[in-house]
Amino acid sequence: MYKKIDLHVHTPKSSCYVDYLMPEANIETSLEEIVNAAIASGLDAIAITDHNSAEGIEGIREIGRENRLYVFPGVEISAKGGHVLAIFDQDTPVEKLRRLIKLLGFDEEGRGYGFCETGLWLDEVFWRIEESGGLAIAAHADRRPKGFLASDEPTKDKKRIYNSNHLIALEITVPSTRNLWNEGMVPDFPKKYACIQGSDAHDPKEIGRRPIYVDIPVIDLEGLRLAFREYETRVRFPDDLGEENSAS
């Protein structure tokens, strides 16, 4: 049975959230609104991935549990070369993510701001994420300016990042290119990767707008790892499935 998931969801703990972009509207997004929006979109699971911050996770995780929505704790980390989603299992203590964020060099003032970045290269951050027990997914990898494949970094650095043994999947924004990445057919980047898409939601209305479907027995981090390892048969984009098969 396919599970419908969105692994790139922000909260008001990200400074670029709708609450702050439209101050004249006096928007104050609640944690319940985020969970309700996910459920209304038919999602079985989301990942909370604020910019360089883990402070938006705890309340949403608890509300999600009460409403049978699986919430992966995560963070979107800004590094030299691009952004990466760090995804952890549901019961991972928030303190573990805080330690990772601190280890990467983010002080209190830089948390929540996507333009603040660690001085470490993206591929070193992949390793740090895996060492901490998480999965590293290159965020909007094909989109300027913060996707590493579309960045202005030298090709040699992009190749090194791409070939990291600690990168498990690519989040792409052009679904029509997915088979090229899956099959290693992109010039200079022959390694095959699982691909996902995500909403990169900065407003509850955006949650679930770009989901994926994964065929896994149980929703948890090991299930995601299995799906990304066997992506040919276990990862589907909405257009791959008929409507009758899209429900979780």
12-49: per-residue pLDDT in tens?
999 999 999 878 878 899 999 999 999 999 999 999 99
- Please tell me the distance from the alpha carbon of residue 39 to that of residue 132, in angstroms, as a whole number: 29
Is residue 178's pLDDT more than 70? yes
The CATH number covering residue 80 comes to 3.20.20.140
At residue 181, the pLDDT reads 98
Quote the strand ranges of 119-211, DSSP E. Answer: 135-138, 169-171, 194-196
Number of domains in the chain: 1
Phi and psi at residue 217, to the nearest 5°: -70, -35
How far is residue 228's CA from residue 248's CA, in Å, rounded to a whole number? 18
pLDDT in tens, 80-105: 999 999 999 999 999 999 999 999 99
Does residue 10 lie in a domain region?
yes
Confirm whether 246 is domain-assigned: no
Enclosing domain of residue 221: 2-240
Number of Cβ atoms within 10 Å of the Cβ of 42: 12
Q: Is residue 226 domain-resident?
A: yes
Q: Write out pLDDT tens, residues 219-237.
A: 999 999 999 999 999 999 9
Do the Cβ atoms of 48 and 63 come closer than 8 Å? Answer: no
Encode pLDDT of 184-210 as tens digits: 999 999 999 999 999 999 999 999 999
Q: Is residue 247 part of a domain?
A: no
Which ranges of the chain does DSSP label H, i.e. alpha helix?
Answer: 18-21, 31-40, 57-66, 94-103, 122-131, 155-162, 178-182, 221-229, 231-234, 243-246
Residue corresponding to tokens 């994420």: 129
Q: Is 248 within a domain? A: no
Q: Provide DSSP, 55-67.
A: TTHHHHHHHHHHT
Answer yes or no: is 8 within a domain.
yes
